[in-house]
Amino acid sequence: MINIDIIRRDSQIKQFELTGHADSGPYGFDLVCAGVSAVTFGSVNAVLELSEADLEIEQGDEGGFLRVTVPDRLTDDTMKKVQVLFEGMLVSLKTIEREYGDYITIRN
């Protein structure tokens, strides 16, 4: 099971953490894992590319763990960009959860 925790402060996403494995298929063919990975890493890459945010990123060596923290020191304009991109990420993750709820849960 993939667990996703979204931590907010003043209604803004300040951190998200993914733990666990979907185990919805054999290694290399796990569609839930691939979808969650594509959405989260794509969103993080978009934030890094399209804003000047210097995110704090922690990853597990063998997968199964990702924590991303949004620093407090961002300008208002940069924070707005980060929030739009991460809210979009959350919409996509919720779509996966609706279809594959046996393998992913989101706490928001």
Instruction: Give catalytic status of residue 33 as yes or no.
Output: yes
List per-residue pLDDT tens for the chain, 108 residues long.
999 999 999 999 999 999 999 999 998 899 999 999 999 999 999 999 999 899 999 999 878 999 999 999 999 999 999 999 999 999 999 999 999 999 999 999
| Active-site hit among 18, 22, 33, 68 | 33
| Active-site hit among 15, 17, 21, 46 | 21
Domain ranges of the chain: 2-107
Question: Containing H/E element for 4?
Answer: strand 2-9
Contact in structure between 40 and 48 (CB atoms under 8 Å):
no
**pLDDT at position 28:** 85
Instruction: Give catalytic status of residue 46 as yes or no.
Output: no
* pTM listed for this prediction: 0.94
**pLDDT at position 63:** 80
The architecture (CATH level 2) of 2-107 comes to: 2-Layer Sandwich (3.30)
**Intra-chain end-to-end CA distance of the chain, in Å:** 16
**pLDDT at position 62:** 79
Q: Is 72 helix (H, G, I), strand (E, B) or coil?
A: coil
Question: Containing H/E element for 12?
Answer: strand 12-19
According to DSSP, residue 67 is labeled: E
